[in-house]
Amino acid sequence: MALVIKNAIIAGIEHSFRGDVLIEGEKIAAVGSAIHASKAGVLDAAGKYLFPGGIDLNLSMSAGAADNVDLAAALYGGTTAASIACSADPGCGQTTDCSYIDLAHSGTSGVFAALEADTDDSEIFSLAAEAAERGVPLICRCENGALTAGITDIMQKQQKTDSSMWPAVRPAYAEAGAVNRLLTTARAAGAAVCIYCISAADTLDEIISARRSGQTVYAGTCPHYLILTDELYKSTDALLFTAAPPLRGQRDCERLWQALAQGDIDCVSSDHHVFSAADKSSSGENIFTCPAGMPGIETRIALLFSEGVMKNRISPERFAAVTAGTPAEIAGLSGKGRIAAGMDADLILIDPSMRAVISAQRLHQKSDYTPYQGMELEALVTDVWLRGRHLIENRVMTDEAPHGRMAATNAAGKADLND
The 10s digit of each residue's pLDDT in 157-216 is 999 999 999 999 999 999 999 999 999 999 999 999 999 899 999 999 999 999 999 999
What percent of the chain is predicted at pLDDT more than 70?
89
CATH number of 54-332+353-373: 3.20.20.140
Residue 377 has pLDDT above 90, yes or no: yes
CB atoms within 10 A of CB 14: 9
Q: pLDDT for 261-290, tens place per residue?
A: 999 999 999 999 989 999 998 867 789 989
Q: Where are the domains of the chain?
A: 54-332+353-373
Phi, psi of 390 (to 5 degrees): -85, 85
pLDDT band at 11 (very low <50, low <70, confident <90, very high): very high
Mean pLDDT, to the nearest integer, of 362-388?
A: 97
Lowest mean pLDDT among 95-109, 255-269, 347-361, 371-385: 95-109
In order of 141, 183, 259, the CA distances from 219 in angstroms are 10, 12, 10
Bridge partner residues of 377 (DSSP): 356
Q: Which is more confident, 16 or 84? A: 16
CA-based radius of gyration for the chain: 21
Residue 92 has pLDDT above 70, yes or no: no
Q: Where are the alpha helices (DSSP H) in 282-339?
A: 300-304, 316-320, 326-331
